[in-house]
């Protein structure tokens, strides 16, 4: 670790009605990875956004390379050499990869009048080869997977030759292989003397990559510790302000043998190939696999969001035809998308409206009047049942934290009386405290007899929660494991069973008998 | 191993049906079919004079549509181009006829009047955060009123400066290639279209136009001064409206202050038929040109086949909706 390049002192920031940061501090040395942790709403992203010029601080000082600086806008931050990768993907889907990376500083022709498209693509290619990334600069970003889009964001941030790189939950959407890839890049940067701020909820991950950890809570600075000396339990207790013990996996109760959902010979183009599975009453069925294995596609097909080429779906033994999401909802199937903001919530509406939206019929009289006292009671019931943290029911959902937004989505489907719930990455971008709440919630839903499908890219989550684990690879189910059989190794083996998956390292040969994160290290 | 790494992956191949090229081919095919239909339906359609008429009719609407294309790609809208066009025509007439200034200054003044209206639109939208629909609706009324005020409610003619009309209606092309007497207005339209296409595809302004329409917040976070560039886009749209106004005045040999309202909708229709998405992020100048031609060929052909004007309007309405519906169908796959 080198000298201190960045120091934040007494940073205060208020939003209407909320004190988001109260005299917070932070320090970054060159060549260090400094993890920033805290529950949702702790102020991590806000503080980093102040640093990146997205928000203006109300008070406090930013010392950068020994000088006090003002950072009024994102451009100013970039010019100083401070780059930030935001939690939400911030790309222009209609532009190509290269155009996205160099937006705002496009190379121009000699006359300065026109863009130099060739140069843009060439620079992007150079950047990718430096990062050992396989990306085609001319691809439109809209045509990339989420994981690849994330890689584009990282490449973009790196292209600034930043001395400070802030990453707000960069790994949330990535698979283990991709995370390993990212860490390789981070280590590379660290050696070059770049200071990296890493915001993440995955504490095991921080143990691997960070040098120091700063903990924040409720807009306050709590402490900074050396990663080597701190245990995960200590960090968690600083985050939540009380001592909690690393939750041991709850052994899920045996579900009944009653089948609530059966899918037979489901096919859709190249993404779903002959998928068959059964979901029992009261069961949590984990869906594991690498990103792009087709898990989300199966969920969307079952939910009627995408059309299918062939296949049969049975709900409680009866053949059903699901062509549209309405059909699925009518048969009691709910789908909770990984992209909550886009598909799960109407962000500009309040908590109450969101909670009752999927079951509006229940609250309207024959004339179409909404029974507002009834919606209010129901909304109150679920806010307290799910412990949704909101100042009131009229709070717009966009102002809630990620964990609470997720709870609103769950509450919405509970209001609609669905029996089959498909969760797609239910804890993505959610902090540790809220995560275990969501886990408890899933368990209690299962105990109430709901059938739950949980798609997750976090193996510990799959292992902890699932009665059975379906593993997919390249659109096919490569295995179904019982809770007893399922281990990280057995799942990874099945998840990579098919060759032909394009690896980040370019090899395309082995039969994938090993989890492929080891291969990068071999290089 | 590293050598392999750098090989680009082309797995994310686009579905050909979804590509922009397919859209243009589709719109172009529609234009050809329409043209062929009228070609065989009436001998009066397939005359040189009529073709010139179609080209002339396309040129003013087309020029307005060029500017509107930029605005719509940013996911905005400009309802004021029709009346701004008239305002520019009136300004040109005042400069040339009333104040007896040289013709070039009148032309420049007219175009700049359009640009000024545009930059006011842009500033109101990007700095005061007024939605484009409202801001440009305001400009629609304001310029409509100002045209009447400045012209004293009466048309202003260019009878003392016949050169002005000749700039648009003479044919430089005809004097070079006899028999191809296409009025200069048409050439000016194609020239403007080429400039617009260059700006949209080859310059920073064009890039930011797409970027803002695709994801404005991401563009802002990338360090692009979104407020500034958005103002420029509306200014550009105003400049094209100004040029349209000058051409209109030259064609009519007068500034008609009561004209103009409704032209903005024709321009928007041309842009939309041309495949530019109202939700922003995609669109093309070529598409807009094809869209403008589809509209003028349709109107011209119907008129020549003695379809009453009110029915022409109905058919135009159906075509606009149909064109967008076909585009939606294409995207769905």
| pLDDT of amino acid B232 | 97
Q: Which of B215, B216, B281, B333 to mutate to test the interface with A (most CBs of A within 10 A)?
A: B215
pLDDT band, residue A40 (cuts 50/70/90): low
Tens-digit pLDDT profile for residues A331-385: 999 888 877 766 677 777 888 888 888 777 777 777 777 778 888 888 888 888 8
User: How far is Cα B62 from Cα B65, in angstroms, rounded to an integer?
Assistant: 5
β strands within B102-202, DSSP E: 156-157
Q: Are B11 and B327 in contact (CB under 8 A)?
A: no
Query: Which residues of chain B neighbour A128 with C-beta distances below 8 Å?
Result: 6
Domain extent, residue B319, equals 25-32+44-332
Q: Residue A270's pLDDT band (boundaries 50, 70, 90)?
A: confident
The reply to whether CATH 3.40.50.300 applies to domain A259-332+418-522 is yes
Residue B39 counted as domain residue: no
**R_g (Cα) of chain A, nearest Å:** 24
What are the residues whose beta carbons fall under 8 Å from the beta carbon of A241, sequence distance 6 or more? A217
Per the domain annotation, does B37 fall within a domain? no
| CB contact at 8 A, A201 and A169 | yes
Of B192, B183, B155, give the one whose Cα is nearest residue B63.
B192
If you search the block for the tokens 């989890």, which residue do you land on? A515
How far, in Å, CA of B74 to CA of A168, rounded? 28
Q: Model confidence over B44-72: pLDDT tens digits?
A: 999 999 999 999 999 999 999 999 999 99
The pLDDT, as a whole number, for residue B101 is 95
For the sheet with A164-168, list strands across it: A82-85, A164-168, A195-199, A33-37, A212-217, A220-226
Report the distance separating Cα A269 and Cα A316, nearest Å. 27
B16 found inside a domain: no
pLDDT (0 to 100) of residue A483: 86
| Beta strand residue intervals within A391-431, DSSP E | 420-424
* Distances, alpha carbon A111 to alpha carbons A107, A116, B194, B285, in Å: 11, 10, 18, 23
Q: Which residue's entry shows tokens 């007497």?
A: B181
Asked if B221's CB is within 8 angstroms of A86's CB, the reply is yes
Q: How many domains does chain B have?
A: 1
- Torsion angle of C-alpha atoms A172, A174, A176, A177, degrees rounded to 10: -150
ipTM score of complex: 0.82
Report residue B43: phi and psi, to 5°. -70, -25
CB-CB: which of B5, B206, B221 is closest to A54?
A: B221
In tens, the pLDDT along A458-479 reads 777 888 889 999 999 888 899 9
Per-residue confidence (pLDDT) for residue A253, from 0 to 100: 59
Give residue A434's pLDDT band: very low, low, confident or very high (50, 70, 90): confident
C-alpha distance from A112 to closest chain B C-alpha (Å): 9
- Nearest-by-Cβ selection for B218 from A91, A132, A143: A91
- Cα three-residue angle B1-A497-A509, rounded to 5 degrees: 25
Residue in A115, A128, A137 closest to B203 by CB: A115
Q: Does residue B105 form part of some domain? A: yes
Q: What is the pLDDT of residues B162-219, one digit of tens each?
A: 999 999 999 988 888 888 889 999 999 999 999 999 999 999 999 999 999 999 988 9
**pLDDT in the model for residue B11:** 38
**Considering the domain boundaries, does residue B38 fall inside one?**
no
Chain B residue with Cα closest to A79: B223
Calculate the CA B321 to chain-centre distance: 19
The answer on pLDDT for A506 being more than 50 is no
For residue A15, what pLDDT is reported? 79
* pLDDT per residue as tens digits for the range B98-108: 999 999 999 99
Domain coordinates in residue numbering, chain A: 4-240, 259-332+418-522, 349-416
A502·B9 Cβ contact <8 A:
yes
* Average confidence score pLDDT of chain A: 83
Domains A4-240 and A259-332+418-522 share a fold: yes
The C-alpha of B217 sits at a distance from chain A's nearest C-alpha, in angstroms, of 8
Say if the Cβ atoms of A74 and B221 lie within 8 Å: yes
Task: Write the pLDDT tens digit of every residue in B257-281.
Answer: 999 989 999 999 999 999 898 889 9
pLDDT of A17 reads 64
Give the per-residue pLDDT at B332.
63
Q: Is residue B123 part of a domain?
A: yes
Of A363 and A142, more confident? A142
Confidence of residue B6 (pLDDT cuts 50, 70, 90): very low
Q: Kindly report the nearest CA distance between residue B218 and chain A, in angstroms.
A: 5
CATH number at residue B52: 1.10.3470
Q: How far is B242 from chain A (nearest CA, A)?
A: 23
Q: Options 3.40.190.80, 3.90.1150.10, 3.40.50.300, 3.30.70.1350; which CATH number does A4-240 get?
A: 3.40.50.300
Q: Are B134 and B121 in contact (CB under 8 A)?
A: no
């Amino acid at each position: 670790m080198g000298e201190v390049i960045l120091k934040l002192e007494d940073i205060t920031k208020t939003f209407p009605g909320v004190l988001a940061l109260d005299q917070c501090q932070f320090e970054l040395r060159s060549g260090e990875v400094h993890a920033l942790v805290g529950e949702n709403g702790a102020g991590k992203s806000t503080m980093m956004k102040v640093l990146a010029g997205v928000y203006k601080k109300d008070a406090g000082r930013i010392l950068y390379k020994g000088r006090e600086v003002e950072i009024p806008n994102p451009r100013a931050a970039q010019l100083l050499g401070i780059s930030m990768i935001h939690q939400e993907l911030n790309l222009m889907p209609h532009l190509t990869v290269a155009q996205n990376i160099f937006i705002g500083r496009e190379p121009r022709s000699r006359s300065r009048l026109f863009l130099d498209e060739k140069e843009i693509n060439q620079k992007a290619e150079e950047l990718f080869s430096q990062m050992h990334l396989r990306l085609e600069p001319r691809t439109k970003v809209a045509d990339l997977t989420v994981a690849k889009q994330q890689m584009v964001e990282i490449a973009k941030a790196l292209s600034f030759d930043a001395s400070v790189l802030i990453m707000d939950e960069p790994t949330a959407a990535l698979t283990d292989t991709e995370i390993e890839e990212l860490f390789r890049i981070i280590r590379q940067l660290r050696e070059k003397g770049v200071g990296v701020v890493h915001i993440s909820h995955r504490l095991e991950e921080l143990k691997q990559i960070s040098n120091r950890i700063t903990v924040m809570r409720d807009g306050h600075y709590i402490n900074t510790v050396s990663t080597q000396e701190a245990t995960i339990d200590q960090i968690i207790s600083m985050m939540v302000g009380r001592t909690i013990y690393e939750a041991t996996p709850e052994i899920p109760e045996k579900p009944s043998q009653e089948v609530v959902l059966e899918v037979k010979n489901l096919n859709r183009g190249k993404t779903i190939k002959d998928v068959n599975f059964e979901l029992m009453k009261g069961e949590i069925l984990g869906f594991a696999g690498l990103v792009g294995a087709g898990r989300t596609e199966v969920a969307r097909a079952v939910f009627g969001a995408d059309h299918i080429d062939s296949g049969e779906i049975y709900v409680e033994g009866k053949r059903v035809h699901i062509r549209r999401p309405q059909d699925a909802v009518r048969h009691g199937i709910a789908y909770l998308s990984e992209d909550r903001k886009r598909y799960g919530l109407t962000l500009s509406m309040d908590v109450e409206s969101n909670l009752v939206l999927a079951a509006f019929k229940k609250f309207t009289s024959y004339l179409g009047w909404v029974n507002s006292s009834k919606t209010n009671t129901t909304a109150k019931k679920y806010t307290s049942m799910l412990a949704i943290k909101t100042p009131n029911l009229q709070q717009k959902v966009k102002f809630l934290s990620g964990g609470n937004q997720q709870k609103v989505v769950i509450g919405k489907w509970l209001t609609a009386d669905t029996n089959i719930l498909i969760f797609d990455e239910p804890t993505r971008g959610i902090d540790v405290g809220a995560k275990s709440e969501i886990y408890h919630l899933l368990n209690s839903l299962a105990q109430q007899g709901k059938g739950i499908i949980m798609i997750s890219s976090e193996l510990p989550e799959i292992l902890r929660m699932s009665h059975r684990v379906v593993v997919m690879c390249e659109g096919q189910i490569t295995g179904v494991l019982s809770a007893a059989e399922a281990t990280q190794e057995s799942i990874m083996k099945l998840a990579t069973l098919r060759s032909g998956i394009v690896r980040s390292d370019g090899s395309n040969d082995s039969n994938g008998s090993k989890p492929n994160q080891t291969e990068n290290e071999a290089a | 191993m590293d050598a392999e790494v750098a090989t680009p992956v082309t797995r994310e191949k686009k579905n050909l049906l979804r590509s922009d090229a397919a859209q243009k081919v589709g719109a172009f095919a529609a234009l050809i079919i329409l043209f062929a239909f009228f070609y065989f339906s009436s001998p009066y359609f397939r005359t040189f004079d009529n073709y010139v008429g179609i080209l002339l009719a396309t040129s003013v609407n087309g020029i307005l549509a060029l500017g509107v294309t930029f605005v719509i790609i940013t996911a905005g809208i400009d309802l004021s181009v029709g009346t701004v066009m008239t305002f520019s025509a009136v300004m040109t007439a005042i400069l040339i006829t009333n104040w007896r200034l040289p013709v070039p200054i009148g032309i420049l003044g007219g175009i700049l009047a359009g640009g000024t209206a545009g930059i006011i639109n842009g500033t109101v939208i990007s700095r005061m955060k007024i939605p484009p629909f409202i801001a440009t609706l305001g400009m629609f009324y304001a310029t409509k009123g100002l045209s009447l005020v400045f012209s004293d409610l009466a048309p202003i003619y260019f009878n003392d400066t016949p050169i002005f009309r000749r700039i648009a209606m003479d044919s430089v092309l005809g004097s070079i290639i006899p028999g191809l007497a296409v009025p200069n207005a048409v050439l000016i339209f194609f020239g403007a279209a080429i400039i617009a296409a260059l700006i949209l595809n080859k310059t920073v302004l064009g890039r930011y136009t797409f970027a803002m329409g695709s994801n404005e917040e991401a563009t802002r976070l990338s360090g692009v001064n979104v407020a500034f560039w958005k103002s420029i886009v509306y200014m550009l749209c105003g400049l094209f409206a100004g040029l349209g106004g000058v051409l209109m005045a030259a064609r009519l040999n007068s500034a008609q202050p009561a004209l103009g309202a409704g032209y903005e909708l024709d321009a928007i229709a041309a842009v939309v038929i041309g495949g530019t998405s109202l939700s922003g992020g995609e669109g093309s100048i070529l598409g807009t040109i094809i869209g403008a031609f589809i509209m003028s060929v349709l109107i011209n052909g119907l008129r020549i086949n003695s379809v009453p004007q009110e029915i022409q309007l109905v058919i135009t309405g159906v075509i606009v909706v149909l064109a967008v519906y076909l585009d939606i169908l294409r995207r769905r796959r």
